[in-house]
Amino acid sequence: SYDFGVGAGFYLNATTDKYRKHYQMVDYVTEELPELILANFPAMPGKASIMGHSMGGHGALTIALKNPGKYACVSAFSPITNPSQVPWGKKALPLYLGADEAKWKSYDTVELVKSYEGQPLRLLVDQGTKDEFLTEQLRPEALQAACDEKGMALTLRMQEGYDHSYF
């Protein structure tokens, strides 16, 4: 379905028996993919950035927060910001990580912001005001509150009239 598995990944390293062998997305994005890029393109080591849309935006944010200093910048379009507290996350996280909700927090941007101890990091988030998932699933206001409390720089740009697909 579009909200689990084939169409949605949550960009995590799965730990449950069903998914752990073939579902190690954090390792792919932080280790394998950069090696491939550096070996095949004229990229500059140490100058990486990360971005994504929807669950990819969620992944970009969590990966940057879990890897202080690895990325020069991070941006996200319509990211899920607090998956441990919304229906999509409550559906997917136990399937990938098991029932222990404490493990879910390690893939929750809001929770990672609250516990962040790395070098200063600026977050850029663009969010459409007509996004059908805005209130129930994405919750950018939770991210704004966590960043305000932590003193982390967040530019949250609400894009008037845009939906989840940015059309």
Catalytic center residues: 54, 131, 164
Task: Give the list of residues 6+ apart from residue 46 with CB closer than 8 angstroms, or none.
Answer: none
User: What does residue 122 show for φ and ψ, rounded to 5 degrees?
Assistant: -105, 130
Best CA proximity match to 57, nearest among 121, 105, 133, 126: 126
Cβ neighbour number for residue 49 with a 10 Å cutoff: 12
Give the end-to-end CA distance of the chain in Å, rounded to a whole number.
Answer: 22
